[in-house]
Structure 1
Amino acid sequence: MPAPISTGARLPETKPSRFLFAARRFSPWVCVLLAALWMAVVGNLPLWRALAALPELGNARGLAFGLAFGVGVMAMLVMVLALFTWRWTLKPAVAICVLTAAGGAYFMRTYGIVIDPTMMVNVLLTDGREARELLSWGMVGSLLLTGVLPAVLLWRLPLRWPGAARQALWNAIAFIAAAAVLAGAGGLFFQDLSATMRNHKQVRYLINPVNTFYALAMVGRKPVQRNGAAVLPIAEDARLPALAPGAKPPLVVMVVGETARADHFGLNGYARDTTPELARAGVVSFRNAWSCGTNTAASVPCMFSPLDREPFADRTANTEGLADVLQRAGLAVLWIDNQAGGCKGVCDRVPKVDDSELQVPGLCNSNGECLDEVMLRGLDERIAQLPPERRARGVVVFMHQMGSHGPAYYLRSPPKQKRYAPECTTNALQQCAREQVVNAYDNTVAYTDQFLADTIGWLKGHEANWAPALVYLSDHGESLGENNLYLHGLPYRLAPDTQKHIPWVTWLSPGFEQESGIRMSCIAQLRDTEISHDNYFHSTLGLLGVQTSVLNPARDIYGACRGKAPG
């Protein structure tokens, strides 16, 4: 047989596909449905876990309702993506949604939180140092597996796009069809859905990632107290009565605590004596005090406002706060901040010292975070720099603690203050035994006890020229693993008492009692009276004798003790 004649031509080579589906192109709706299915199933695991735990789902009808709920969630996600199903917007929208769902699922699953407008404000005002404390290898692995990987695969999915008119028609059809499925699923089980949403309100904040987008939209509609925000003046008539001849001006330290729980203070009956120094100092602890928010971004602006909690939440504009009014009345005001997150706007118009100015070797770590006692260093010099005409009327120093800020509780107390061991030494609290988490937290309370006692000691050293006093209260509480909840920030109506029940401590020197007429013995008789952050603005004005039409005497908890005879 003759040999074949070579023509020199080469057969075309088949290149290996770089992508599993490179041999064909898919309709955009394949991408939409795959993304919606992934988010509905994997991105909503915290939602399905919460639903499975409800007693209402413990029978056949409950199971059917759960399945219908899942179908409804997927239909809702299809509706959202249908708005972005265009050649240049679909894949970015899918990537954003999948990554958002992965992040939301991780934090809801890990810390038992929900994502609502209040939590979103807290997230938006979180600084880099606070964010770093939430990082862990578990978080990185979870986000890579449930967010980055599916987002990359869906991004690389080859799509076949029709003309613009035809795509618009399909988008409309898909949106209407998904809306019909959502309405049908809700209609079939309307009573179950209504009862679940009414009796278990947290469920609505677990629908991921719709919860995040809703929270962002709501935050955009309301004013957020933040640095540089425009504010309206209040209490423009604020004034101080003239000091009596020979009277000593007040020197008051107002400590704004962080993440402290009332039920972990020995003063309030906790089984552990976490506050022996304060007990020896003779303070009065209000045992029935409550916060107006469950995170710093909500609570601090609220407690510095003359408004009560609900009117403050419904406000249409930001106003000046307590620090502004005290300064307007003529007092020398100083804010010292040991938190990188700052004062949430309440100290913007008064002299302040931020954490970057507090760096002292031995009290601050390499990340710039300092132990609270650093705020006492150089305090006399800082006060001496305030205007002398104001110092002659009185000085108010606000100290914003790092306190018991989580999740890295173990970083908040020095080795000498670690009374309780072993403690959790990671920010992944769910990896520690609850006893270790509580030990680390209680060590922060013990350190706060020492810090407050040292501050009282500093105040006592100035009794020759001043009338000293101290008021301490926390911005909110904390969950320490009860019912698998950690940290704080749940919607106020849903949050457990552990996130809202706060310590409030008062100490008045004999000189302050004499000048103000307010008696510690009388305050002690009110220790079980129910009070809240709603009282803070008015009580502070009353304590310092500031006169203004904004002061509500009914909210002044110290006013009832003015002029009471000792004993």
Structure 2
Amino acid sequence: MFGLRAHSASLSPGLAAPGCAEDPQPAPTPWRALGDWFARPRSARSVVIGLSLYLAVAANWPLWNELARIGGAPSVYLPVTGLMFLLLVCGLVAMLSFTAWTRWMKPLWFVVVMLAAVVQHYMLTYHAVMDPTMMTNALQTDASEVQDLLSWRLLFNVLWVVALPAWGLWLVRLVPAPPLSQLWRNLVLLTIVAAVAGAAAFAMNRQLAPLMRNNVHLRYMMNPLASIYSTTAVVVKPMLGHGRRLIPVTGGTVLGASYANQARPPLFVLVVGKTARADHFGLNGYARNTTPELAARHVLSFRDVRSCGTNTLASVPCMFSPLSKEAFEAREDDFENLMDVLQASGLAVFWLDNQAGGCKGVCDRVPHASAFDQLDPALRSALCEADECLDEVMLRGLDERIAALPAERRRKGIVLVMHQMGSNGPAYYKRSSADLKHFKPECRTNALAECTHSELINGYDNSIAYTDRFLGKTIDWLEGKSGTFDPSLLYVSDHGESLGEYGLFLHGLPYGFAPDVQKRVPMVAWFGDGMIERDKLSRACMESGLDKPLTHDNLYHIVLGLLDVRTPTYLPSLDALAGCRSPAAAASG
């Protein structure tokens, strides 16, 4: 048998029996060839280099588009684009070189690709940039806000970036190597890319330096480097630095002379608006009458007010701070805020939130509550969807909330802060009730690029009209208290919003780069007759100052002046209403 097997094997192919001939292999398909190429054994460093090249090309279209927009003619921006591409690849390789070890790094590489894909989607869709403030907002986003940001477009944009590297990472075989060998090879790779990046930046410093100095936002468009850097700055850096102290500012705070023999205590409502633009308020000259309720109540509308930031996290703590915007942003420690000062004066203070994201630390040391906590089921059904409620929910049960405050404080006066849902995007259509959708058709999706500009504006303006109604009802509630209180209201939004101007959507761009529409906010004041008499305010004087430039820096001092709270941090020069009080009242402040 062995002899026959040897003999048959020695036959020439032409004489071999047909049944013994081998079947010819089919020609490989392109997909099979690509799969075989991916499956070749490779070092972890070669995978890192390939992944970096892929991410620079496939996950950085917003950066390349922005460089083309800034650069003008191709002869100008193409060399700079080439340099930025080289620097980006070197940065990615340097970052990923710390992960160039074994096959157990594959899940981490996949997470990096997924992060880059998701970030690119939001940069393309809303023209956001991943600076530390935006990353903090992302990390603090609640479930309802996440739901508003989900769409089929997101799934598509992520899949086309992730699919190819995911397949490749699944197939690729990594060549094992001893740990010490891996370590020195990774260090060599890190050294090489650092040297290449340094040489390239030095060679083109004349072009690169002014570009980055005049367009700071570009550094936060390098994907996913910016996201990882910003996450590190937000999460890791505070853990490595010194713990922030809370600096007290309430020392010496007392109530002014107007409280000595008051007939009625003040009832002051401060409404913190959300994402409202000054130029979309009919009160400020907008072509559409988005504010008929406020106009009917003869409010004062300050028409030139700028925010402290372009997002809630930056603006809300800043607007309640005794520090200026510049000092607030440069601080190394935390400071007590307006809520602390008002409470220290002896007034009854309460913060009511219709924002799932909360008060950003402003109300931590005073009584506060969420508007949709322990809500009656019937009321929740009428005003809420999932965990989001229309702002009118804050007016329900308000008397009971106030009655629960300490009686001795209520007898001196009450300060109520309402934090709106307002015009929070991108789902603007959710921010107004069905009977107030006067502007049609409105955008009914959170993928704003799928709507026409007019549909987007309609949805946003309907949300402003709903804020108008909410403020009107709040004023009516205050007027109903005129027999027992001296009522007043001040409304100011935290920041504005981009609605497609310059291709930008939503908000949160770095302050120096953000357009005015993200920084100009409405501010509206209403005073009952009792408060006008109490503060000796001249309406004619206040009306003459409605076009005076103001900022969030003024809010702290305006409120203290209105409520006649004496404290060392009060500055009359920043109180926009100080000059409209009688000399006696101004002296007491």
The TM-score range, normalised by the shorter chain, is over 0.9
Please tell me whether residue 169 in structure 1 is matched to residue 162 in structure 2: no
CA displacement at 1:317 relative to structure 2: 1.8
Please tell me whether residue 452 in structure 1 is matched to residue 475 in structure 2: no
CA distance in 2, matches of 1:200, 1:327: 43
CA contact (8 A) 2:307 2:494 kept: yes
Please tell me whether residue 235 in structure 1 is matched to residue 250 in structure 2: yes
Q: Assess, with a 3 A threshold, how the Cα gap between structure 1 residues 363 and 314 changes in structure 2: closer, same or farther.
A: farther
CA contact (8 A) 2:292 2:468 kept: yes
Map 1:35-184 → 2, pairs under 5 A = 35-56=51-72, 58-87=73-102, 90-147=105-162, 150-151=165-166, 153-184=168-199
Q: Assess, with a 3 A threshold, how the Cα gap between structure 1 residues 289 and 73 changes in structure 2: closer, same or farther.
A: same
Q: Assess, with a 3 A threshold, how the Cα gap between structure 1 residues 182 and 459 changes in structure 2: closer, same or farther.
A: same
CA distance in 2, matches of 1:489, 1:102: 20
CA distance in 1, matches of 2:372, 2:575: 35
- 1:531: which partner in 2? 550
CA displacement at 1:332 relative to structure 2: 0.6
CA displacement at 1:100 relative to structure 2: 1.8
Please tell me whether residue 342 in structure 1 is matched to residue 358 in structure 2: yes
CA distance in 2, matches of 1:59, 1:142: 27
> Which of these residues, 567, 575, 578, is aligned with residue 556 of structure 1?
575
Q: Assess, with a 3 A threshold, how the Cα gap between structure 1 residues 532 and 410 changes in structure 2: closer, same or farther.
A: same
CA contact (8 A) 1:287 1:504 kept: yes
- 2:338: which partner in 1? 322
Q: Assess, with a 3 A threshold, how the Cα gap between structure 1 residues 246 and 184 changes in structure 2: closer, same or farther.
A: closer
State TM-score, norm by structure 2: 0.89
> Which of these residues, 277, 286, 297, is aligned with residue 261 of structure 1?
277
After superposition, the C-alpha distances for 1:35-69 in whole angstroms (9 at most, x for unaligned) are 1011101111110111111234x143532222222
CA contact (8 A) 1:413 1:443 kept: yes
Please tell me whether residue 469 in structure 1 is matched to residue 484 in structure 2: no
Paired AA for residue 497 in structure 1: D
CA displacement at 1:2 relative to structure 2: 12
Select between 140-149 and 469-478 the one with higher mean Cα deviation. 140-149
- Secondary structure of the 1:83 match is helix
> Which of these residues, 484, 490, 497, is aligned with residue 509 of structure 2?
490
- 1:307: which partner in 2? 323
Paired AA for residue 140 in structure 1: L
CA contact (8 A) 1:403 1:444 kept: yes
Paired AA for residue 395 in structure 2: L
After superposition, the C-alpha distances for 1:294-318 in whole angstroms (9 at most, x for unaligned) are 0111110111110111211111122
Q: Assess, with a 3 A threshold, how the Cα gap between structure 1 residues 89 and 292 changes in structure 2: closer, same or farther.
A: farther
- Secondary structure of the 2:349 match is strand
CA distance in 1, matches of 2:471, 2:275: 15
Specify the structure having the higher radius of gyration (Cα).
2
CA displacement at 1:128 relative to structure 2: 1.4
CA distance in 2, matches of 1:65, 1:46: 15
Please tell me whether residue 363 in structure 1 is matched to residue 382 in structure 2: yes
Q: Assess, with a 3 A threshold, how the Cα gap between structure 1 residues 54 and 29 changes in structure 2: closer, same or farther.
A: same
More helix by share: 2
Select between 413-422 and 237-246 the one with higher mean Cα deviation. 237-246
- Secondary structure of the 1:289 match is strand
CA contact (8 A) 1:340 1:355 kept: no
- Secondary structure of the 1:356 match is coil
- Secondary structure of the 1:494 match is coil
CA contact (8 A) 2:38 2:168 kept: no
- 2:311: which partner in 1? 295
Select between 382-391 and 147-156 the one with higher mean Cα deviation. 147-156
CA displacement at 1:516 relative to structure 2: 1.4
CA contact (8 A) 1:81 1:90 kept: no
CA distance in 1, matches of 2:38, 2:155: 29
- 1:213: which partner in 2? 228
After superposition, the C-alpha distances for 1:498-517 in whole angstroms (9 at most, x for unaligned) are 00000000111111011112
Q: How many residues align?
A: 554
Select between 231-240 and 456-465 the one with higher mean Cα deviation. 231-240
> Which of these residues, 564, 567, 570, is aligned with residue 545 of structure 1?
564
State TM-score, norm by structure 1: 0.92
Q: Assess, with a 3 A threshold, how the Cα gap between structure 1 residues 140 and 454 changes in structure 2: closer, same or farther.
A: same
CA displacement at 1:335 relative to structure 2: 1.1
Where does structure 1 lack aligned partners over 5 or more consecutive residues? 7-13
CA displacement at 1:22 relative to structure 2: 7.8
- 2:46: which partner in 1? 30
Superposition CA RMSD, Å: 2.6
Q: Assess, with a 3 A threshold, how the Cα gap between structure 1 residues 310 and 155 changes in structure 2: closer, same or farther.
A: farther
Where does structure 2 lack aligned partners over 5 or more consecutive residues? 7-24
Select between 245-254 and 324-333 the one with higher mean Cα deviation. 245-254
After superposition, the C-alpha distances for 1:401-458 in whole angstroms (9 at most, x for unaligned) are 1100000000000011111000000011111001100000000111111111111111
- Secondary structure of the 2:418 match is strand
Please tell me whether residue 421 in structure 1 is matched to residue 440 in structure 2: yes
> Which of these residues, 378, 390, 399, is aligned with residue 397 of structure 2?
378
CA distance in 1, matches of 2:115, 2:203: 30
Q: Identity rate of aligned residues, in percent? A: 46
Please tell me whether residue 195 in structure 1 is matched to residue 214 in structure 2: no
CA contact (8 A) 1:338 1:402 kept: yes
- 1:9: which partner in 2? none
After superposition, the C-alpha distances for 1:488-536 in whole angstroms (9 at most, x for unaligned) are 0000111000000000001111110111122332211111111111111
Map 1:398-437 → 2, pairs under 5 A = 398-437=417-456
